[in-house]
Chains A and B, each alone.
Chain A
Amino acid sequence: MSAWTCRRTRRVLEAFHDGELPVEQQVAVQTHLAQCTPCTTERARLAGIGATLREGMSDPMLDDAQTVGRRVLVTLPVVRELSWRRQVALLFDDMHLVWAGMGASAATLVCVAAALGLMRLTLREQPASMKAMIVAMADPGSNRNPLAPDGRLLMPTASLAGMIDPPMLDREDALVAFAAVVTREGTIRNLELLLQDAGQVPVGARAIGALFDAVSQTRFEPARALTGAPVAVNMVWLVAQTRVRGKTMTLVPMPLAVPVGRSRSTPTSRAPGLTEFPADVSTARV
């Protein structure tokens, strides 16, 4: 152990005098004092102050001082409670603690902000998460886990108030299949085009969009289980549009007299008085 300097000794001399140093420092200071007269003199001054306070006072003064000490112990908590200004001043009495407290507060705020951010991220429901899948599987017939329609279900029907007539497709013959989920509330979800067959020219995207818009806006009476509870079901719709070209017969007046010598009627491949008028007046939709 290296010998202590006077400067180092003076810094802890009071604590040494009061017996508040650790043992190794106490020994080091004692060793230094044994060979340093100025430090010994300084220590004697410290001791003199205490001795003067204790011994130099008369007994009444000593009693009074002790009474003061006890009174301080009793009244100080009250003073502390009453004087908020004193409390604030004490907060900044030791700046080391102030800086440490500010650092700790800042770190705490950062931690709280990080925790809140994580909570916000984790609380956001992820449809593809394991939890969401388990919840959906545990509730068949919910909007996330629709049922396949079978004989035990009352199929959904379009309500009259919410029925929208599907628009015509832009091809004469077309076949469009699409799937959707009719939810418990009777709305359409997850509308998906499965098939379109319109010959060589496909149905235009605008016509498909108009069809989907009409279907999406339609309100259904939801499918119901045997218990009467509404359930969500997967549905597939098939829209087939066929234009049927027909012939319209028009009756034309004919003379009643038949010339003699001529057959009354001559069957022809074409009936007289019938005129063909091509018309595409009817469209069958399924």
Chain B
Amino acid sequence: VRARFHCEPTGNPQAAPDNMLLQKRLASQLRAALDALPFDQRSVIVLREIDGLSYDEIAFSLGVTLGTVKSRLTRARRALRDVLQEPAA
């Protein structure tokens, strides 16, 4: 998956535009998937993956328990993974 979404330098000069196009399309799908998440899950995944907060920090910030953070994070990742694994339309 990482190889699929990650831009890696290749010797082929045509690869860079293709990757940029793929990246743009994935970004669009990602935004849609993120927006489709419930607020609870969206806030947890953003705080974890974008802001880099730990579980304890997220729990403290949102006022929920550690178990709640873990379960919301699992559900959010599962939803995003399903969206990103779907073949691009």
Do A and B come from the same complex?
yes
- With A20-B54, A20-B55, A66-B51 as given contacts, are A56 and B30 in contact (CB-CB < 8 Å)? yes
- With A14-B77, A48-B5 as given contacts, are A53 and B26 in contact (CB-CB < 8 Å)? no
Q: Are B49 and A90 in contact (CB under 8 A)?
A: no
Interface residues on A, range: 35 or more
- With A14-B73, A56-B30 as given contacts, are A96 and B67 in contact (CB-CB < 8 Å)? yes
The secondary structure that dominates the A interface is helix
Fill in one digit per residue for A78-98: 1 if any B CB lies within 8 Å of its CB, else 0. Answer: 001000000000100110110
Complexed CA–CA distance, A69 and B48 (Å): 9
The secondary structure that dominates the B interface is helix
Q: Are B30 and A53 in contact (CB under 8 A)?
A: yes
Partner of A49 from B27, B51, B80 at Cβ < 8 Å: B80
Q: Are B6 and A55 in contact (CB under 8 A)?
A: yes
Shortest CB distance A122–B (Å):
41
Partner of B68 from A53, A55, A70, A93 at Cβ < 8 Å: A93
Q: How many residues of B contact A (CB 8 A)?
A: 38
Shortest CB distance B87–A (Å):
16
- With A48-B2, A48-B4 as given contacts, are A69 and B51 in contact (CB-CB < 8 Å)? yes
The answer to whether B16 has its CB under 8 Å from any CB of chain A is no
Q: Are B84 and A52 in contact (CB under 8 A)?
A: yes
Q: Which residues of B contact A97 (CB under 8 A)?
A: 65
**Please, could you name 9 A-B residue pairs with CB atoms under 8 Å apart, sorted by A?**
A18-B48, A44-B2, A45-B1, A52-B26, A53-B80, A54-B50, A58-B27, A69-B51, A93-B68
Residues of A within 8 A of B (CB): 14-15, 18, 20, 44-58, 61-62, 65-66, 68-70, 72-73, 76-77, 80, 90, 93-94, 96-97
